[in-house]
Amino acid sequence: MIPIIQRNTGWIEVVCGCMFSGKSEELIRRLRRAMIARQKVAIFKPAIDNRYSEDHIVSHSDNKIPSQVISSAEEILQASLESHVVGIDEAQFFDASLIDVCLKLSNMGKRVIVAGLDMDYRGMPFEPIPHLLAIAEYITKMQAICVVCGNPASFTYRTIQDSDRVVIGAANIYEARCRNCYIPPPAEEASVASNGKEKSAGKKKKKKKKKVKA
Ligand code: ADP
Ligand code: ZN
């Protein structure tokens, strides 16, 4: 349970899960409640993710809240000095410096709410989220609904082949799938997929090969 009374101490909350699991919705819900309670709220998202808006966090259900776009985690520190609550979406797109930023903010007495993918499309832990999960006081793992069978989904399946770990896109190239229906990418793709490059989806659509789960 997340405490509703702030006793002059800060903490870290992490909301994780696969794509479409409701992470942004949950982050927006928590931030809205804090705003209703007249707490000062600072909200950030990485510049890399401008899929739906430059100045809002927008969920797949079109729920939105104003946010600041930043290109490095360090910018959060200076921009949230006056805030009680700090919200960060798509945290998997920041580097390891986000960990130190979250620690500093929470040690300053702030409530830090971080939302992000816990696994990439290969089913591998998506840093820095695993580290944040370890140091957080409160963690929430969300599930989507598997588009194949309807079971709870924890995996993000990429419907196109691409060797880059990050390909920005949504329903056009990603699907939420359960463990049974998730198919890992071919080994040769996965082995070169951590090069940190990113690109926008849709430009390089290749024909999907039929794969059989081992
Ligand atoms: P996340 O931030 O985890 O990617 P969002 O909060 O942006 O997720 O969006 C959640 C919304 O996505 C749901 O309320 C629903 O409207 C929509 N959605 C699309 N596909 C699915 C799915 N397979 N399972 C559940 N919700 C889905
Ligand atoms: Zn399934």
Domains and CATH numbers, the chain: 11-142 (3.40.50.300), 152-198 (3.30.60)
Better-scored residue on pLDDT, 169 or 104: 104
Nearest to 48 by CA among 168, 162, 163: 168
Task: Give me the pLDDT at residue 171, please.
Answer: 67
Question: How many angstroms is it from 60 CA to the middle of ligand 2?
Answer: 20
> Which residues, judged by CB distance below 6 Å to any ligand atom, belong to the binding site of ligand 1?
17, 19-25, 59-61, 144-145, 147, 176
pLDDT digits (tens, 9 = 90+) for 70-81: 999 999 999 999
- Euclidean distance between CA atoms 143 and 145, whole angstroms: 7
Of 51-55, 79-83, 201-205, the range with the lowest mean pLDDT is 201-205
What is the percent of the chain where pLDDT is above 90?
66
pLDDT (average), residues 93-115? 97
Better-scored residue on pLDDT, 201 or 106: 106
pLDDT (average), residues 42-62? 83
Longest dimension (CA), the chain: 55
Residues 6+ apart with CB under 8 A from 144: 17, 18, 19, 20, 21, 22, 152, 153, 154, 176
Task: Output the residue whose Cα is nearest ligand 1's atom 20.
Answer: 20
Better-scored residue on pLDDT, 36 or 47: 36
Task: Give me the pLDDT at residue 139, please.
Answer: 98
In the structure, what pLDDT confidence band is assigned to residue 213 with cuts at 50, 70 and 90?
Answer: very low
Q: Which residues pair with 85 in a beta bridge?
A: 41, 111
Quote the mean pLDDT of the chain. Answer: 85
Task: Give me the pLDDT at residue 6, please.
Answer: 53
pTM of the model: 0.85
Task: Give me the pLDDT at residue 21, please.
Answer: 97
Identity of the amino acid at 9 = T
Task: Give me the pLDDT at residue 169, please.
Answer: 66
- Rounded to 5°, the CA angle 41-113-194 comes to 125
Residue of 25, 90, 137, 189 marked catalytic? 90
Question: How many angstroms is it from 156 CA to the middle of ligand 1?
Answer: 12
pLDDT (average), residues 135-145? 98
What Cα–Cα distance (Å) separates residue 49 from each residue in 22, 55, 81, 133, 169? Answer: 17, 11, 24, 22, 9
Told to judge if 90 belongs to the known catalytic residues of this protein, a careful annotator would answer yes
Structure tokens at 28: 């927006």
Task: Give me the pLDDT at residue 44, please.
Answer: 96
Task: Give me the pLDDT at residue 151, please.
Answer: 98
Better-scored residue on pLDDT, 185 or 10: 10
Task: Give me the pLDDT at residue 113, please.
Answer: 98
Mutation test residue for ligand 1: of 59, 93, 147, 178, the one with most atoms within 8 Å of CB: 59
Q: How many residues does the chain have?
A: 214
In the structure, what pLDDT confidence band is assigned to residue 186 with cuts at 50, 70 and 90?
Answer: confident
Structure tokens at 7: 């006793």
Task: Give me the pLDDT at residue 62, please.
Answer: 85
pLDDT (average), residues 57-64? 88
Query: Side-chain half-sphere of 128: how many Cα atoms within 13 Å?
Result: 19
